[in-house]
C-alpha cells in the first residue's frame, strides 16, 4: 500500500510578518512572507497597524503559498498556526483564519508555539543540512526574545536562561535608531560591522548572574556614548558609523557567547542550535564556527530563510505534531504570553 503524503499548511502572524508555507512530509514546498514596510516610518512595530496589515495580507499570502507549492487546499492534511507568543491583535488574525479554514475543510487544526518553532525549524528537510541530535542547546535570539533552551526532545524543552529586560534584537534595533539607521536596524548594523573595526570602541558587558541576559544597560551606555562624542564632534556618528556598528555587534555577540559557554559547562551539552532573526547575524555565525574549532562545539546554523519569522517553521512543527495526532479544537484562542 502506498503511504499517503502529509500536506501541512503553516500560518504565522505573531508580529509584523504575514507568512504561509506548505510542507509535504517534512519538505518545504513554498515559504511566502509578506513584510509590513508600514512600520519603518515609526521606527518600530505599531501593533494596531500590524493587525490591520495581517488582515489585508493573509488571504493573498496563503493563496500564493498554495499556488507556489502546486497544492490544492483540498489536498491539505491539516492547518498549523502560531498561537503565541506575540502581539494579540496580530495573533488573532492568523488564529481566526486557521480555525475557519480547518473547519471548512474538515481537517485537523494544530496550534504552534512560535518560540518552539524557531528551534524546530532545524528539523526541516534540507539537502546537505544535518539536523541536531538530542539533547542540544538552542539559543533563540529575536526582536522579542532571548533564551537558552535545553532541548531533550521535539516537545521536551526547558528554558534555562532568558533576558530580564530587552531582547537582543531590540538591542540591535534601538542602538541602530540612535545612530539614525532604519528599522529593523539589525541587518544594517551587520552589514556595516563587516567594514568596521570591532575594537574601535569599548562597551562594558552587563553583569548578570547565571544564564540570564540583560541588554537595557548596553542601550543606555550606547546612548550616552553617542551623545557625548557628538558634543565633541557633531559629525562623530557619520565619520565612525562602521566602527561603531562593528563595536556594538562585537559586544553583543560577546555577551551571547559568554552565556553559551556557561550553558555548555553547566549542562555538559556542546551541540548548539541558534534560531530567530538575530541568528542571521554574520558575527554570531562566525563566532559559533570559531567555537567549533576552539572548543569542539557542534553548531547548527539555520538557512537564512528560516531565521527571521516565517511559516515554514510553523509547518514543520505542524508536521511533527500531526504524526503524533496532537491536534487542537475550535475552542482554542490566541495567547500572547504563551510559554515554551
Binding site residues, ligand KG4, CB under 6 A: 15, 142-144, 169, 172-173, 184-187, 190, 276-278, 280-281, 308-309
Q: For the chain, where are the alpha helices, taking DSSP H only?
A: 47-69, 88-105, 114-120, 168-178, 186-193, 216-232, 236-267, 282-295, 312-322
Sign for the pseudo-dihedral over CA of 269, 271, 277, 282 = positive
DSSP letter assigned to residue 123: G
Q: What are phi and psi of 161, to 5 degrees?
A: -165, 145
Nearer to Zn ion, 16 or 309 (CB): 309
Q: At what angle do helices 47-69 and 88-105 cross, to 10 degrees?
A: 30
Is the CB of residue 295 less than 8 Å from the CB of residue 288?
A: no
CA dist list (Å): 75 to 5, 9, 165: 9, 10, 44
Q: Are strands 271-275 and 27-35 parallel, antiparallel or unpaired?
A: unpaired
**Residue 180, by phi and psi: left (phi above 0), alpha (psi -120 to 50) or beta?**
left
Under rule CB under 5 A, residue 36 binds Zn ion: no
Considering the complex, state which of residue 73 and residue 177 has its C-beta at the smaller distance from ligand KG4. 177
Q: Which does 190 bind (CB under 5 to 8 A by kind): ligand KG4, Zn ion, none?
A: ligand KG4
- Binder of residue 184, out of ligand KG4, Zn ion, none (CB less than 5 to 8 A by kind): ligand KG4
The option from ligand KG4, Zn ion, none interacting with 89 (CB < 5 to 8 A, set by class) reads none
Q: Is 18 in the site for Zn ion (CB under 5 A)?
A: no
What is the smallest separation between the CB atom of 334 and ligand KG4, expressed in angstroms? 15
- Minimum Å distance from CB 146 to Zn ion? 11
Taking the least distance from each CB to ligand KG4, the nearer of 172 and 201 is: 172
Q: Which does 302 bind (CB under 5 to 8 A by kind): Zn ion, ligand KG4, none?
A: none
CB of 306 to ligand KG4, least distance (A): 10
CB contact set of 234 (below 8 Å; sequence gap of 6+): none
| CA pair distance 8, 111, nearest whole angstrom | 12
User: What nine digits make up the cell of 253?
Assistant: 555577540
Residues between 280 and 319 with contacts to Zn ion, criterion CB under 5 A: 309
Taking the least distance from each CB to Zn ion, the nearer of 45 and 222 is: 45
Give min distance, CB of 14 to ligand KG4, in A: 7
CB of 288 to ligand KG4, least distance (A): 14
Question: Cβ(207)–Cβ(219) under 8 Å?
Answer: no
For ligand KG4, give the closer residue by CB, 192 or 321: 192
Q: Does 142 bind Zn ion (CB under 5 A)?
A: yes
The CB-of-167 to Zn ion minimum distance in angstroms stands at: 10
Q: Cell 528551534 identifies what position?
A: 119
Nearer to ligand KG4, 162 or 326 (CB): 162
| Residue 308 contact partner, candidates ligand KG4, Zn ion, none, CB within 5 to 8 A by sort of partner | ligand KG4
Give me the phi and psi of 263, to 5 degrees please. Answer: -65, -40
Please state the closest distance from residue 264 (CB atom) to ligand KG4, in A: 22
Comparing CB distances to ligand KG4, the nearer of 161 and 186 is: 186
Residues that bind Zn ion (CB under 5 A): 142, 309
Amino acid at each position: 500500500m502506498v503511504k499517503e503524503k502529509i500536506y501541512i499548511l503553516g500560518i504565522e502572524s505573531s508580529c509584523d510578518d504575514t507568512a504561509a508555507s506548505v510542507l509535504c512530509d517534512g519538505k518545504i514546498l513554498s515559504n511566502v512572507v509578506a513584510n509590513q514596510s508600514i512600520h519603518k516610518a515609526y521606527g518600530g512595530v505599531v501593533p494596531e497597524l500590524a493587525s490591520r496589515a495581517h488582515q489585508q495580507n493573509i488571504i493573498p499570502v496563503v493563496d500564493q503559498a498554495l499556488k507556489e507549492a502546486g497544492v490544492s487546499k483540498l489536498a491539505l492534511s491539516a492547518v498549523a498556526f502560531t498561537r503565541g507568543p506575540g502581539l494579540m491583535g496580530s495573533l488573532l488574525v492568523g488564529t481566526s483564519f486557521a480555525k475557519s479554514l480547518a473547519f471548512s475543510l474538515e481537517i485537523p487544526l494544530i496550534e504552534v508555539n512560535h518560540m518552539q518553532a524557531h528551534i524546530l525549524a532545524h528539523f526541516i528537510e534540507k539537502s546537505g543540512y544535518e539536523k541536531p541530535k538530542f539533547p542540544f542547546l538552542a539559543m533563540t535570539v529575536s526582536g522579542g526574545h532571548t533564551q537558552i533552551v535545553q532541548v531533550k526532545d521535539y516537545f521536551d524543552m526547558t528554558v534555562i536562561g532568558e533576558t530580564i529586560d530587552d531582547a537582543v534584537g531590540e538591542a540591535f534595533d534601538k542602538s541602530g535608531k540612535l545612530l539614525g539607521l532604519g528599522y529593523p536596524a539589525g541587518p544594517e548594523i551587520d552589514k556595516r560591522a563587516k567594514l568596521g573595526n570591532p575594537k574601535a570602541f569599548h562597551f562594558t558587558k552587563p553583569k548578570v548572574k547565571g544564564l540570564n541576559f540583560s541588554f537595557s544597560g548596553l542601550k543606555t551606555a550606547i546612548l550616552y556614548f553617542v551623545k557625548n562624542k557628538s558634543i565633541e564632534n557633531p559629525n562623530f556618528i557619520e565619520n565612525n558609523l562602521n566602527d561603531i556598528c562593528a563595536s556594538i555587534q562585537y559586544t553583543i555577540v560577546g555577551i551571547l557567547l559568554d552565556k553559551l559557554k556557561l550553558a555548555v559547562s553547566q549542562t555538559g551539552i556542546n551541540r548548539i542550535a541558534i534560531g530567530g532573526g538575530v541568528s542571521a547575524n554574520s558575527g554570531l555565525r562566525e563566532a559559533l564556527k570559531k567555537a567549533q574549532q576552539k572548543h569542539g562545539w557542534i553548531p547548527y546554523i539555520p538557512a537564512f530563510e528560516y531565521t527571521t519569522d516565517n511559516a515554514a517553521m510553523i509547518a514543520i512543527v505542524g508536521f511533527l505534531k500531526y504524526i503524533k495526532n496532537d491536534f487542537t479544537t475550535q475552542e482554542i484562542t490566541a495567547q500572547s504570553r504563551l510559554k515554551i
